[in-house]
Structures are given as structure tokens and as C-alpha cells.
Chains A and B, each alone.
Chain A
Amino acid sequence: MDSLLILVPAALLLGVMALVAFLWALRNGQFDDPDGAAGRILFDDD
């Protein structure tokens, strides 16, 4: 049972990190132009 005391918080921590990352990306405008971003990575600045 001791393992639960480490594993449950660890799992939750990872989940929270993903949630925070998503909310940050949303706020930062990363989802404003999903179609453009998909193509943009293919072009280098030549």
C-alpha cells in the first residue's frame, strides 16, 4: 500500500503538468491557426 502514496501523487502530478501545458498553449494562441501551423513547419527560411 505504501507504493500508492508515491504512485498516486506522481500520476496526478503528470496529469496536472499536461493540463497546465494545454491551458498555457491555449492562452498563448497556439490553437489559433491549426491549419497554418501544420504547413509552416515544412518551410525553412530560405
Chain B
Amino acid sequence: MTDAAFLSTAPPRTTAQTYCRHCGEPVRGRGDAEFCCAGCASAHAIIGAAGLGAFYRRLEERRAHKPAPLETDFAPYARAAGTSDYELDLLVDGLDCAACVWLLESLLARNPAIQRVRAHLSTRRLSLRWRGSADGANAHVGLVAALGFRPAAYDVVTVASDADQETRELLRCLAVAGFAAANVMLLSVAIWSGHDGSMGDATRTLFHFISASIALPAVAYAGRPFFRSAISAARARRTNMDVPISIGVTLACLVSLHETWSGQQHAYFDSAITLLFFLLIGRYLERRARGRARQAVRALLALSSRSATVVAADGTLSQRRVDQLDTGDVLLVAAGERLGADGVVIEGRSSLDAALVSGESLPQSVEPGAKVFAGMVNLGASLRVKVTVASQHTLLSEIVRLVEAAEHGRSRFVAIADRVARAYAPVVHATALLTFLGWLVLGGLPWDRSLLIATAVLIITCPCALALAVPVVQVVASTRLLHRGVLLLSPTALERLAKIDHVVLDKTGTLTLGRPELIETNAHGEALAAAAAIAANSRHPLAQALMRAVPDTVPADGVVEHPGLGLQRGEVRLGSARFCGATNEIDDGHSELWLARPGERPMRFAFADRLRSDARDAVEALKRRGLTVELLSGDRAVAVARAAHEAGIERWRAETSPAAKAQYVAHLSKQGCRVLMVGDGLNDAPALAAAGASISPTTAAEATQNAADAVFQGDALQPVVEILDVARRADRLVHQNLALALLYNLSAVPLAILGVVTPLIAAVAMSSSSLLVIGNALRLGARPLAKEVR
């Protein structure tokens, strides 16, 4: 093939841009093409053949996703149900609109073998039940993947978790309390308006009895979550917020029952049940937020788990779940695949990307006998790796152990609500007791009158607004962050983030994108375009980077890939220096590709990991907020110094091991710094756990995300600044709310002690303070942050 023929396929710039009919991306290449890739074309064909073309209309503003090949074997995840049926739960990434639900359900239901299909939009879950064999799973899941969705196995054990049960129980309690509160309040309003004498004693007593018959069973049912917690706290000789709540509500019911029995004027049934209702709202919001965070972590992990290809003794290949690999198994690791276990290379030469494991940004070359670790990505030719799981000594388990040790320190952190409750409960009890004794001994009232007044004190001081003050702010803050692609994983994350004064950043994958970008080449114009056209045929990270560097690249035809060496199209070669016959090798620490064309000197393309586009601005923004910013990396000093300089960070450390990172962070904490660690690698996990608060990008390794308080999506570093801003504002609001709640108590308690608080006053005070606190919390969602970063 001649150069002229090669050039003829250079991208013809079309004037009218066409868009892919499936995924909506601009179509590169011939003007009459309707799809951007073969995957999209086949997805469109499948949908069209099933007569579900209405899908594209129903997507409205959204776009379908580009299909990616399925890399996992789903048969092991299928579980038998009945004699010949199988079930499978999937987590489907991309299942984010009603049209997707409709498409998946309609399409899968066309298959007569499928007995049941149900897509859940809120949880992105797809439940399947089919007749046949377990292997059918791959056919069904393959169809889902062919449409552009990314399915992952959803472990059933983790789905039916305790958290789900608990949230449901709270919701049931909330329903019962809500019903009872509304009806008792209806009767109470009648009683209060009859206080002027228009209601007879007999009617009032009847109404009190009806109230009692509604409120008592409801309190017994809806109060269980509080009673249980209070009892377990009392057993452990501790006190928490639930102890005064339980005592207050129980005492209010008993005293009111006594009052009703003796035909007295005041009963606190409405206060008792309304109190429970408000408290349950707070508890429910808190648990739901916590459950969502947990579910989000599970979803992230499910999406990142893959199966490994095992080579049997007779040479046959099979897919196995990573957690079911044994010592001595031989794995076939294809180009672009992530290693599932630690092991030793027994066949093949390649280079591995260890960025996630050690923070090293340069690929490291391996040959038979080299030790490799779970989490490394194969960049070159396929390898055979023998698994060496010496259980306690794998790198991963070592890191997990470090994380656990470091997290021990963090568990000592006590949420502000709990701290307040610990100080608050004894004061409440003492005040109520003193009121009772005071009226009984000094005031000369009979015991039941004194008890009634003491009960009023307990009801007024019940931390209703206090219990709502923190969860409502947390819900508003996490919703706000969720819209910016940030997920909070720990319930106390916001509080700890608000106190940060020192930010430690990791380099590879955190400050940088963690993927190579073209930074330097001596090829220009058509040579660059030609190289990109050839590169577009490969999934190798460097080839992908080259393709990204040249916009509107059309894949060239007739390209042959030589694994581990490069790409060839006729006489034109693109690949390693050896493959292209380049002799003038330069060693400047960059990854490289060479382009060799007949009659020309080989041309070099150098790649390096580039900073996130807004890294400098984000670092600047952090400094403006008075934070000390530091760079801590496992990479070589040259690379770290360059990245630090580019991002405008003065303090940096290079070549730090995972344990050294954790030690350094612990050292900073000991000096009184409140450290925020931002990192993505496995080597950062111990440091993340050791820091006062921690954030990871969603591209981070599993163990790392587990150790982080929050994860953020996308190519920008800006979310880190956003998280800190929201955390600080949320912290201010929590303190305001606590102050409001305290102020309300300080002003109402003297009245209660004097015995002038009737059930009517109690109800008004309680509701108004709760509404005030909720209203204050909602300000966080409504207003833009004071200082947005430009």
C-alpha cells in the first residue's frame, strides 16, 4: 500500500455534522454514516427489530449509552429458583430514566424463556427470572449490555441487608405515629376549645378516653425503636438521646392515664404521640441517608468487580469470580484487563500500569518470574499469571490491615448530636426530678399534681428540635452534593470535613487524571492524523490517548495488532521503539509510541499523566480558604516536583510507601492539624483511614473507596472544594439549629417548672420549634454558596 492510498482515508470534514442515531454522539467519518460505531448500530438494530423504536422518542433530553463488550461471566451469579428456573439480580449502570425501564422490560419480556423481569429505577436494579439453565444468564445479560447498559452482578446477600429492614420498620412506625398524632390532635383541639366551659366534664373525659385508646397502643408500637435503644444504652450504663425520650413519653402516658381516670382537665396524650412522630421523622431521614450511602458504595463495588479467566491444565479457558480463585490457578490476563489476584508471571512479556497500587505513574515492564499485584492493569501483550495467595501476605490484605488499624482511631470521633445528648440527658432528668420534689415538698402539692408538672418539664425539654436539627441539615447537604456528583459515605463525614485545616493530595489519579495524555511529538499534520487513525483500532491506553489528541479521527482500515509490539497497516508501523526500528531512544521518563513509515525517520509520541484541568484553580481555591495544601506521592521525585510546580503546591513529598503515607498523616494529626486526605490508589487507603477526613475519586480502588468519607465523579478536582464549602455551611447550620433548640428550651423550661404549661402550650411550642429548625436547614439547599469558585 502506498502513502497516497493511505492518505485518501484522512478525515473528510463534513460540513453538516451528523449524530449517532443510538448514542447521539457526533459521527466521525463518512457523511452518510448513521452510527458512531458497530456497537451502536447493532443496539439500534436490536431495538428496531423488536419494534421498540419509540424508545428514542421517549428518551427526550437524554441519550442512550454506547455499548461496551461484556467482560464478566454471569452464570455463577444465577441462583436456582424452583425446579427449572433461575434468578439473577443485576445492578445496571445507565438505567437512569423511565424510557430505559420500559425498553429493558419490554425487550426482555419478548423472550418466552424469561418468566419475570422487573427494573427498579430508584435502585438501578434489574431482577430476572428465566426457565432453562444457569448459562442463560450470559445471553440475557449480554442483551442488556448490547443495548448500551453496563450490567454488574448484585450480590443478593448484601441486598437484603439489615439496614433495609430497619428503614422499613421506621417507616411503619412513622405511619402509625402519624395516624395517631393526627387523630388525637383532632380530639385535643376540641378539648382545648372547650376549656372556656362550653364542653361538659363528661364529654371531656370521654374524649380523653378515646385519645388514650388511640395513643397508648400507638406509643407502644411506634416507640419501640427508641425504647430498644434506650434499654441497650441503660444496660451498658451509658445514656443517649433515647433515654430522656423514652422516659418522657412513658411518663406522659402514665400521668395522662391517671388524670383521665380521675376526670381531671389536662392530659398529654397528644404531646406524647406528636413528639414520637417528629422524632421518627428525624430518625427516618437519618437512616435513609445512611442506607443510601451504603447502597452507593455497594453499587460502586459491584460495577468494579470482574471475573478472571482461568487456564485449566488441559489448556481450556473458563471464567471464575475473583473471590473464588485459589493458590496455583493460572490466569490469562488480556491487554487492558485488571489483575484479580497477586501472583507471579509465568509466560509473556508486557508492561503493567501500577498507578492504583503504588502510585507509580510509569508503566513497569514485567517478564516471567516477576511478582505482580491485584489491581495492576495489563497494558501490553497477554500474560499468564500463577496465583500466589499467601493469605496474610498479599499486598491487598496488608493494606486492608493498615486501613483497619487506622480506622480504629477515627471511630473515637463522636457526632455532635451525641455529644450534646450526653451532656443534655442528665440535666433534663435532674430538672424534672427537682421540679417534682420542689412542688411536693416546698409547694405542698399532692404527688399527682407535682408529677403532672414534672411531666410537662420532661415534654418541653424532650429534644425534639434537637433530634431534627442534625439529620435535616445532613439530608439537605447530601442531596445538594449528590447533584454535583459527590456521594457522602460516612454519616459523620460533613462534621469532620468542616473542621479541616490541612489538605494532603495524592498525585497519580487524584491531582492528575491517572491516564496518559499526548504531551510531545515531532510528528505534525498528516503524520499525526495518520498515526491517530491507526491508533483508533486499538484499546491500548497509549493508542487511546493518541486518538483523543486528534479530534475527528476515523479508524483506518486494514490494521493488524501485534500484541505487545504495536499496530501495523501495510508498511506503516505504530508501536514500541523496537517494533518501529527507532534507534535514537530518549529516556526522559515518558511513555512513548513510535510511528515508522517507509522512507522516513521514525517519529516519536511522548505521553504523560496530565493534571486534572482545574487542578491549579482548585488548589488556589483551597489556599484562599486558608488551608495548607500538600502533595504526597509514591511516585519518583522528578514527576512529583513537576506536578507540584504545575499545580502551585509548595510542599511535596515523593517516594512514600503506603505505611509511610499513613504515618505522615498521623504525624500531622498529632501536631494538631486536622487533615483531609484526597487519594485514589490502594497505597493511599491507609492514609485515607488515618486522616481526619478523606475523599476519593470514583475511579479509585475498592479498598480505597471503602476507607473514604466521600467519593466524587468526573475529571475535575473542583468537587473537593465544593464538598468543603458545603460541609462548612452545613456545620454552621447545625450549630445554629442546636442554638435555636437550646434557646427554645431555655425560654420554655421556666414556664414548665412554674406549672403554667398546659398541653396546648406544649403542642404549640414543640411544633413551632421543629418547623423553625427544618426551615433553617432548608436554607442550605435554596441559596448558592457564598463564595463560588470561579
Contact of B120 among A1, A4, A18, A33 (CB under 8 A): A33
Contact of B122 among A18, A26, A33 (CB under 8 A): A33
Are A15 and B182 in touch, CB under 8 angstroms?
yes
Are B210 and A38 in touch, CB under 8 angstroms?
no
Contacts A1-B203, A4-B203, A19-B176; is A36 near B183 (CB within 8 Å)?
A: no
Shortest distance between the CB of B428 and any CB in chain A (Å): 32
Which residues in chain B, 189-217, are within 8 Å of chain A measured between CB atoms? 203, 206, 210, 214
Q: Which residue of B lies closest to A18 (CB)?
A: B179
The segment from B94-102, B333-341, B387-395 that touches chain A is B94-102
Cβ of B172 < 8 Å from any Cβ of A?
yes
Which residues in chain B, 138-170, are within 8 Å of chain A measured between CB atoms? 168
Shortest distance between the CB of A10 and any CB in chain B (Å): 12
A34 to B122, CA, bound (A): 7
Cβ of B81 < 8 Å from any Cβ of A?
no
Are A38 and B98 in touch, CB under 8 angstroms?
yes
Q: Which residue of A lies closest to B213 (CB)?
A: A12
Query: For this complex, into which size category does the number of interface residues on chain A fall?
Result: 20 to 34
Q: Which chain B positions have C-beta within 8 A of A31?
A: 171
Q: Which residue of B lies closest to A12 (CB)?
A: B183
Contact of A15 among B54, B102, B168, B179 (CB under 8 A): B179
Which residues in chain A, 1-46, are within 8 Å of chain B measured between CB atoms? 1, 4, 8, 11-12, 15-16, 18-19, 22-23, 26, 31-36, 38-40, 42-43, 45-46
List the count of A-B residue pairs having beta carbons below 8 Å apart. 60
Are A39 and B122 in touch, CB under 8 angstroms?
no
Q: Which chain B positions have C-beta within 8 A of A39?
A: 97-99, 101-102, 121
Q: Which chain A positions have C-beta within 8 A of B210?
A: 8, 12
Cβ of B58 < 8 Å from any Cβ of A?
yes
Shortest distance between the CB of B42 and any CB in chain A (Å): 23
Q: Which residue of B lies closest to A19 (CB)?
A: B179
Q: Which chain A positions have C-beta within 8 A of B99?
A: 39, 43
Are B214 and A43 in touch, CB under 8 angstroms?
no
Contact of B101 among A1, A26, A40 (CB under 8 A): A40
Are B58 and A43 in touch, CB under 8 angstroms?
yes
Shortest distance between the CB of B598 and any CB in chain A (Å): 58
Are B98 and A36 in touch, CB under 8 angstroms?
yes
Contacts A15-B179, A26-B171; is A43 near B102 (CB within 8 Å)?
A: yes
Are A43 and B98 in touch, CB under 8 angstroms?
yes
A24 to B467, CA, bound (A): 29
Cβ of B117 < 8 Å from any Cβ of A?
no
Cβ of B123 < 8 Å from any Cβ of A?
yes
A26 to B170, CA, bound (A): 12
Contact of A23 among B54, B101, B175, B187 (CB under 8 A): B175
Q: Which chain B positions have C-beta within 8 A of A15?
A: 179, 182-183
Are B122 and A35 in touch, CB under 8 angstroms?
yes
Are A11 and B203 in touch, CB under 8 angstroms?
no
A15 to B120, CA, bound (A): 31
Interface SS majority for chain A:
helix
Shortest distance between the CB of B156 and any CB in chain A (Å): 15
Q: Which chain A positions have C-beta within 8 A of B182?
A: 15
Are B183 and A40 in touch, CB under 8 angstroms?
no
A4 to B209, CA, bound (A): 14
Shortest distance between the CB of B60 and any CB in chain A (Å): 11
Q: Which chain A positions have C-beta within 8 A of B58?
A: 43
Q: Which chain A positions have C-beta within 8 A of B121?
A: 33, 35-36, 39
A18 to B58, CA, bound (A): 35
A1 to B199, CA, bound (A): 10
Shortest distance between the CB of A11 and any CB in chain B (Å): 7
Cβ of B186 < 8 Å from any Cβ of A?
yes
Q: Which chain A positions have C-beta within 8 A of B123?
A: 32-33
A8 to B190, CA, bound (A): 12
Are B102 and A40 in touch, CB under 8 angstroms?
yes
Q: Which chain A positions have C-beta within 8 A of B297?
A: none
Are A36 and B179 in touch, CB under 8 angstroms?
no
Q: Which chain B positions have C-beta within 8 A of A16?
A: 179
Q: Which chain B positions have C-beta within 8 A of A12?
A: 183, 210, 214
Q: Which chain B positions have C-beta within 8 A of A11?
A: 183, 186
Q: Which chain A positions have C-beta within 8 A of B494?
A: none
Q: Which residue of B lies closest to A4 (CB)?
A: B203
Are B203 and A40 in touch, CB under 8 angstroms?
no
Cβ of B119 < 8 Å from any Cβ of A?
yes
Q: Which residue of B lies closest to A25 (CB)?
A: B175
A18 to B121, CA, bound (A): 27
Are B176 and A32 in touch, CB under 8 angstroms?
no
A42 to B123, CA, bound (A): 20
Q: Which residue of B lies closest to A36 (CB)?
A: B121
Q: Which chain A positions have C-beta within 8 A of B106?
A: 45
A40 to B98, CA, bound (A): 6
A38 to B218, CA, bound (A): 32
Q: Which chain B positions have C-beta within 8 A of A36?
A: 98, 101, 119-122
Shortest distance between the CB of A3 and any CB in chain B (Å): 12
A4 to B203, CA, bound (A): 9
A32 to B123, CA, bound (A): 9
Shortest distance between the CB of B357 and any CB in chain A (Å): 38
Interfacial residues, chain A to chain B (CB-CB below 8 A) = 1, 4, 8, 11-12, 15-16, 18-19, 22-23, 26, 31-36, 38-40, 42-43, 45-46
16 sample A-B contacts, Cβ–Cβ < 8 Å, listed by A number: A1-B203, A8-B210, A12-B210, A15-B182, A19-B175, A19-B176, A19-B179, A31-B171, A32-B123, A33-B122, A33-B123, A36-B120, A39-B99, A39-B102, A43-B98, A46-B54
Known: A23-B172, A26-B171. 10 other contacts (CB 8 A): A11-B183, A12-B183, A18-B179, A35-B121, A36-B120, A39-B99, A39-B102, A43-B58, A43-B102, A45-B106
Interfacial residues, chain B to chain A (CB-CB below 8 A) = 54, 58, 97-99, 101-102, 106, 119-123, 168, 171-172, 175-176, 179, 182-183, 186-187, 203, 206, 210, 214
Q: Which 8 pairs, one residue from A and one from B, show the smallest C-beta to C-beta distance?
A: A39-B98, A36-B121, A33-B120, A35-B121, A19-B179, A43-B102, A35-B122, A33-B122
